[in-house]
């Protein structure tokens, strides 16, 4: 079994993460990227990947 904090650290390595800002809206752009808008912050654009559901 993997410790949750260790897994979180591994998944976030190399990423810039900001916490505490409320999401006020988002748009899916024509190129498939997502632009997220947060309270009191500049909008940010990113790729959003979704894992397909497993059958069963």
pTM value?
A: 0.57
Mean pLDDT of the chain: 85
Residue 52 has a pLDDT of 66
Residue 51: the pLDDT is: 67
Q: Residue 49 corresponds to which tokens in the numbers above?
A: 């990947």
CB count in 10 Å sphere of residue 41: 14
CB contact set of 29 (below 8 Å; sequence gap of 6+) = 35, 45
Question: Residues 11-36: pLDDT tens digits?
Answer: 888 888 778 889 999 999 999 899 99
């Amino acid at each position: 079994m993997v410790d949750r904090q260790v897994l979180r650290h591994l998944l976030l390595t190399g990423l810039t993460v900001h916490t505490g800002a409320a999401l006020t809206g988002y748009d899916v752009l024509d190129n498939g990227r997502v632009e997220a808008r947060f309270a009191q912050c500049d909008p940010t654009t990113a790729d959003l990947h979704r894992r397909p559901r497993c059958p069963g």
